Chain A
């Protein structure tokens, strides 16, 4: 296989919270040592419940959050220590689509100014006519009318705004886009519109995506591979169809059993796994396997040491249940 475009090596992002005068600071382990590789032209889906660190992972990749430990390699270069001209190149190559289309566009700028801004920052085009032409092209690419250029964001619907946001990220011809729940703030009727656009762009421009979401059926639809996160850890990584049809990790099983099925007969016959208890606090995660407190198959061993992500059959699973499997 080709060289990965993005590689995370034991990435850890911790936040200090609370603390103050004569009070000890707490450390939130938002991302606690995850490693993964994403290849050119591929879509990698990252799923997990709220607060599991999937957004923080995405934000660390675009340098919004500084990693506490570990490496983030983009085209083999560690971006946590990148500077100067290389940093500028990196900002062109790696872009992000945000969750809330109502908050991600500056309300005081016209659509034209918003899409033009990255071109201004990086000085890609010399003259204003060239920029304007490119803006019109981009607007058409995302299915908006070129004469929307002088409109303000508040005049558009959520789906239209999200497409403006996509046009802005495409202005720099990026090679990798972090999609941070790009559809979760949209109406179901609009979601398909945006997903189809993302797929079309990928087919035309060969961009890789890291697709962060909690809508499992949507992630399965768009992703080539899926990673499942729980409390800052990756618990299972695999080909999206395989993982969807045959989950191995107990958490993945529980997560998939919560996906609604549009067929009452199948839905009735299915066994719903309901997890007991609450998501533990990331300030004080359980020892050993972080999932053991809610795992229906927890063993003695789970509290003693942390399971590593190991190759099991066609995928990677971090669970002692599959320890015997040496294939």
Chain B
């Protein structure tokens, strides 16, 4: 083991001075980027997702602006001009009461989009708290909490959405309640799975060793690191909530007239579909394009937020 001392003689000429560049060995040259800046760069490369995002922004802007600037209101009837076709005065024509379809679709968009967004948000909050606690505490608590989720899953969701809406009278509140109750379980399961894998990672153990409280570890370390997949599933939840709401409207238990969402608009037009097919096409087109755009965004986010696909 021992080196023979005389074999290795150190003389000054064996050494050379440290080069100026070496002193900066610890310097990092490139610009610092946060996780979301990095994700944005990757998201922008996906043209379909970017187009979807532009469409949603355009749709939201139209829903806000058009009813304000239009000379018509969503419930202003004009029986002398019912079931009119497309014209400069009514870009999408009028319905059987002579109401401007464009304005009605944009007002319906306000309701449909906000139902989608709010339902997804409620599902997100419940899912994060429920799934986070279940995954982090583990053991018996986890077992009981997850069996409850399984139980909720076993009931067909349309069944209790319809029941809630019928019992509480159709309104924004009852529809939101019904849709959020049916969509938080998937979110909770996903958060739980993420938290369970992350809690064994060394950074959460390190936080524990440093004396961090349970809620600090859960929210500052575990949830934040599982945000990527969670955001993706939230963007996927929005279209399914919009779809559920449209489905309720189409069944005739959506919002009551004269208020309208895309679903109730399609349902109203269905009755006179044979005579005036364009009246069905507009709301259906709005639903389809929005869902398509949201799905593209969800897909793009999935790729952008997953660092392994870098």
Q: Contact string, A57-84, partner B, CB cutoff 8 A, digits 1/0?
A: 0000011100000000000000000000
**Cross-interface CB contact of A121 among B35, B201, B210, B227, cutoff 8 Å:** B210
Enumerate B1-42 residues with CB–CB distance to A below 8 Å.
1, 3, 26-28, 30, 32-35
| B90 CB–A CB distance under 8 Å | no
- Complex Cα–Cα for A23 and B209 (A): 34
Instruction: Indicate if the CB atoms of A103 and B203 lie closer than 8 Å.
Output: yes
Is chain A's binding surface mostly helix, strand, loop or mixed? loop
Instruction: Indicate if the CB atoms of A91 and B225 lie closer than 8 Å.
Output: no
Q: Which residues of A contact B207 (CB under 8 A)?
A: 106, 117
Q: Which residues of B contact A88 (CB under 8 A)?
A: 211
Indicate whether A155 sits within 8 Å of B28 (C-beta atoms), given known contacts A106-B225, A263-B3: yes
Q: Which residues of A contact B34 (CB under 8 A)?
A: 152
Indicate whether A151 sits within 8 Å of B212 (C-beta atoms), given known contacts A106-B221, A168-B206: no
| A145 CB–B CB distance under 8 Å | yes
| B216 CB–A CB distance under 8 Å | yes
Q: Which residues of B contact A251 (CB under 8 A)?
A: none
| A148 CB–B CB distance under 8 Å | yes
- Complex Cα–Cα for A151 and B31 (A): 9
Q: Which residues of B contact A64 (CB under 8 A)?
A: 205, 208-209
- Complex Cα–Cα for A104 and B198 (A): 11
Q: Which residues of B contact A148 (CB under 8 A)?
A: 26, 28
Q: How distant is A103 from chain B, measured CB to nearest CB, in Å?
A: 4
Q: Which residues of B contact A122 (CB under 8 A)?
A: 211
Instruction: Indicate if the CB atoms of A100 and B211 lie closer than 8 Å.
Output: no
Instruction: Indicate if the CB atoms of B203 and A121 lie closer than 8 Å.
Output: no
Write 6 A-B pairs (CB below 8 A) sorted by A numbering.
Answer: A96-B209, A106-B225, A117-B210, A118-B211, A121-B212, A145-B26
Q: How distant is B5 from chain A, measured CB to nearest CB, in Å?
A: 13
- Complex Cα–Cα for A261 and B2 (A): 9
Q: Which residues of B contact A168 (CB under 8 A)?
A: 206, 210
Known contacts A108-B225, A152-B32, then 8 further A-B pairs from the complex at CB < 8 Å, ordered by chain A residue: A91-B210, A98-B206, A106-B207, A118-B211, A150-B32, A152-B35, A155-B28, A262-B3
Q: Which residues on A are within 8 Å of B, measured CB to CB?
A: 62-64, 87-88, 91-92, 95-96, 98-100, 103-108, 117-118, 121-122, 143-145, 148, 150-152, 155-156, 160, 165, 168, 172, 261-263, 266
Q: Which residues of A contact B221 (CB under 8 A)?
A: 106
Q: Which residues of B contact A91 (CB under 8 A)?
A: 209-211
Q: How distant is A66 from chain B, measured CB to nearest CB, in Å?
A: 13
Q: How distant is B167 from chain A, measured CB to nearest CB, in Å?
A: 40
Q: How distant is B297 from chain A, measured CB to nearest CB, in Å?
A: 22
Q: Which residues of B contact A105 (CB under 8 A)?
A: 203, 206
Indicate whether A95 sits within 8 Å of B27 (C-beta atoms), given known contacts A108-B224, A152-B32, A263-B3: no
Shortest beta-carbon contacts, A-B, top 7: A91-B211, A104-B202, A103-B202, A98-B202, A118-B210, A106-B203, A62-B209
Select from chain A the residue with minimum beta-carbon distance to B30: A155
Select from chain A the residue with minimum beta-carbon distance to B207: A117
- Complex Cα–Cα for A299 and B80 (A): 110
Q: Which residues of B contact A160 (CB under 8 A)?
A: 26
Q: Which residues of A contact B35 (CB under 8 A)?
A: 107-108, 152
Instruction: Indicate if the CB atoms of A103 and B32 lie closer than 8 Å.
Output: no
Select from chain B the residue with minimum beta-carbon distance to A266: B1
- Complex Cα–Cα for A96 and B3 (A): 35
Enumerate B174-230 residues with CB–CB distance to A below 8 Å.
201-203, 205-213, 216, 220-221, 224-225, 227
Instruction: Indicate if the CB atoms of A145 and B27 lie closer than 8 Å.
Output: yes
- Complex Cα–Cα for A143 and B27 (A): 11
Instruction: Indicate if the CB atoms of A117 and B212 lie closer than 8 Å.
Output: yes
**Cross-interface CB contact of B205 among A98, A144, A156, cutoff 8 Å:** A98
Instruction: Indicate if the CB atoms of A151 and B209 lie closer than 8 Å.
Output: no
Q: How distant is A138 from chain B, measured CB to nearest CB, in Å?
A: 14
Indicate whether A104 sits within 8 Å of B206 (C-beta atoms), given known contacts A88-B211, A152-B32: yes
Instruction: Indicate if the CB atoms of A121 and B216 lie closer than 8 Å.
Output: yes
